Structure 1
Amino acid sequence: MSDTRSNDAIDERIGRVLQGMKSLKPAFKENVKDSIVSMDVWDWSQGVGLFAIYLFYKETGKRELLDELTAWFDRHLAQGLPGKNVNTVCPLLTMSFLYEELCREDFLEICKEWAAYVYAEMPRTPEGGISHLTVTSENEGQLWDDTLYMTVLFLGRMGVLLDQQQYVQESIHQFLVHLKYLTDVHTGLFYHGWTFLENHHFGGARWGRGNAWYTAGLIDYLDMVPVPEGVRKFLLTSLRRQTEALLPLQTEEGMWRTLLDDPDAYVESSATAGFAYGILKAVRKGYLPETFRESGQKALEAVSSRIDSAGFVHEVSYGTCVGDTWQYYRDIPRCPMPYGQAMALLMLVEGRKHL
């Protein structure tokens, strides 16, 4: 297993992961209009990567990172932005922070337009949840774990940035309605999706990366958005119960599987890195007790061993829709992906604080 017990070792890996993110190319023919592997596309996969780079910039103050992010957005503004949906909202979280860094009014105007769309026009399920609208499907009446990270973080962030309390309150509502319908009350883990049209959890998958969107996303959400103490307690007790359920499912090496409680499912790096980041940061901030640190550190070491000499993070599952069977998740191919690089980057940066 790779050794990440020194700043130099972690910094070397961080540099490789960043380089690998820039060099990502599809490993097979993708069945999508635009690649979700290459960082040259505006979509959710790239949006997760952009946010990780921004947080690393804030940690280090390296101006070249800020310049690279700005150039990425300027290229896409020149090309024209894609249609609005849950996934294409994701890059705007980083854009909202770049507005503050650069005083770019054009960035702010775009963020305001898209936030107003999310709040007032994005399709809703019964009880007002955001339907997981994508470029390929309306997914009418469907709640997915992914929506919290891809859209709700941005909405809450814009509520704070614009001092629009209705946006903040709507982001809180989205967390609560998603937890209401996606929590498996028997385990404390989260199902991947729920349909109001048929009232079921599809294949009943407790999907690894979907759970990690909560573990990693909640901690950053609480950094960005002040929430009432009662809501904060509810969100954090959900995190505590989820993490308690995760620990016995962690492999001896330190990984988690793409289906968390399925011994036939493969181990998966983006979920494991997201859990490592969320758990370690939650311990540092006092949201989880010290006893959880060992699990996070073990996961960090396991993912680090899957970073190759070119900086690519391996054993990352490709983009995953809600599946009707567990076999669907077992069959998702694996290849380096922007969100795998991003979660590994966040994990490593957080890991430096725990040496």
Structure 2
Amino acid sequence: MKSKSNKNLWAITAISGMLLASCGTPDKYFQDFPEGAVPGEVGKKVAERFIEVPHQNFGRPGMPKRITYPEVCTWYGALTYAGEKRDRDLTEQLAKRFEPLFSSESHLVPLPDHVDHTVFGAVPLELYIQTRENRYLAMGRNFADKQWGPPEGPRVKPESHKYYDKGLTWQTRMWIDDMYMITAVQSQAYRATGDIKYMERAAGEMVVYLDALQRPNGLFYHAPDVPFFWGRGNGWMAAGMSELLRSLPEDNPDYDRIMKGYRTMMASLLKYQTENGMWRQLIDDPESWPETSSTGMFTFAMITGVKQGWLDGDIYGPAARKGWIALTGYINPNGDVSEVCQGTNKKNDRQYYLDRERMVGDMHGQAPVLWCATALLR
């Protein structure tokens, strides 16, 4: 009997092994990339390009008044890539770029008085995570805490107090872009400190945005009064949910609601991916042009979902792979990404979105490439 039992156990184990082998691992679609699409090489190229270029000013000449959010997002992406590669030299170069912000360029540090400014805190928090230098933690944590502090400064509006009284950040404005800007800095504060309040803040805020702005098809209008599914706007939501869920404990009361919103969005995006792997400037408009920043953000969200086990790897793995390979085809020899929609305000006009300038090397497009490279290496 014992011998027969052992044989049965061996047979069950063998069958289980074969089933697991046939299913593969989440990474099976993220290996053996063609030349020009190897994540480690692409990430290095785009990160080094970031170090080369001066502070950008939304495509305008001259220095910006403050570090802009596209630069913050690219800086953060370059740092996370360096961290995954354990490239200490690259981390040191990225820290060196930051150093003047403590002294000669301190005037370029944004005030934490708007979501586009407060996201800056994600960079010093990532520098702290990698270097353990307390000055980075102090700076970054200040940004995260100010976001939930009492409304103050000239940007305060009557509705700022209304949101603050509800336990939301006073910087709430109900634009879909916000759900990356807010979640990025709050998630980073949690990763740096382990203080769960940062995740609770961001999760509560995300649920409010999902309930108010997500459409039945899973996508998001640019704003309640702008009924267009703008690519990069939706990209901010996709990336923001991914960053948040990556660190949000599953026992958080908002976890299931956010996961539902995320999965509903991913299922819809799957339907609108073009044959060559891209997504469009207006996601559901077949006359709209393939756009790289949105493609990078959606690809990042899908890579993360497959790797974390939130999405079916055999359905979303091929889509994420196709998106990444298509995206890398838009990177020129200098490391600049082309076909990037310029910085865009909201407007209730389809042609406004179709006519947006297509930029080369704009950091709105550089950042998602680095996020994708990082996610592929995780």
Q: Give the TM-score normalised by the residue count of structure 1.
A: 0.83
- Answering whether residue 268 of structure 2 is matched by residue 245 of structure 1, we say yes
Alignment partner of 2:198 out of 149, 155, 167:
167
- Answering whether residue 140 of structure 2 is matched by residue 111 of structure 1, we say yes
Match of 1:312 in 2: 336
Which amino acid is the alignment partner of residue 279 of structure 2? W
Give the unaligned 5+ runs of structure 2: 1-31
The answer to which of 268-277 and 214-223 deviates more is: 214-223
Q: 2:174 is paired with a residue of what secondary structure? A: strand
Shift of 1:166: 3.9
Match of 1:75 in 2: 100
Q: Is the 8 A contact 1:119 1:167 kept in 2?
A: no
Which amino acid is the alignment partner of residue 189 of structure 1? L
Q: Is the 8 A contact 2:168 2:205 kept in 1?
A: yes
Match of 1:192 in 2: 222
1:291-328 Cα offsets, whole Å, 9 max, x none, are 11111111111111111111111111111222222222
1:212-236 Cα offsets, whole Å, 9 max, x none, are 2222232222233435354222212
Q: Which has the higher contact order (CA 8 A, sep 6+)?
A: 1
Equivalence map 1:195-210=2 (5 Å): 201-210=224-233
- Distance in 2 of aligned mates of 1:252 and 1:19: 31
Shift of 1:4: 3.3
Shift of 1:113: 2.4
Match of 2:238 in 1: 215
Shift of 1:159: 4.5
Match of 1:271 in 2: 294
- Distance in 2 of aligned mates of 1:163 and 1:321: 35
Alignment partner of 1:94 out of 120, 123, 126:
123
Percent identity at matched positions? 23
1:38-97 Cα offsets, whole Å, 9 max, x none, are xxx612111111111121112111111211221222112212223222112223112113
Give the unaligned 5+ runs of structure 1: 133-140, 194-200
1:107-162 Cα offsets, whole Å, 9 max, x none, are 22222322221012355365555466xxxxxxxx7311111211232124324644
Q: 1:262 is paired with a residue of what secondary structure? A: coil
- Distance in 1 of aligned mates of 2:40 and 2:129: 27
Q: Give the TM-score normalised by the residue count of structure 2.
A: 0.78
Alignment partner of 2:42 out of 13, 32, 46:
13
- Answering whether residue 365 of structure 2 is matched by residue 340 of structure 1, we say yes
Counting matched residue pairs gives 331
- Distance in 2 of aligned mates of 1:310 and 1:189: 34
The answer to which of 76-85 and 116-125 deviates more is: 116-125
Cα 1:330–1:250 change in 2 (3 A) is same
Q: Is the 8 A contact 2:221 2:229 kept in 1?
A: yes
Which amino acid is the alignment partner of residue 224 of structure 1? S
Q: 2:117 is paired with a residue of what secondary structure? A: coil
Q: Is the 8 A contact 1:7 1:352 kept in 2?
A: no
Cα 1:27–1:251 change in 2 (3 A) is farther
Shift of 1:205: 1.7
Equivalence map 1:296-307=2 (5 Å): 296-307=320-331
Shift of 1:15: 3.0
Match of 1:120 in 2: 149
Q: Is the 8 A contact 1:54 1:69 kept in 2?
A: yes
Cα 1:165–1:63 change in 2 (3 A) is closer
- Distance in 1 of aligned mates of 2:36 and 2:259: 30
Larger Rg computed on CA atoms: 2
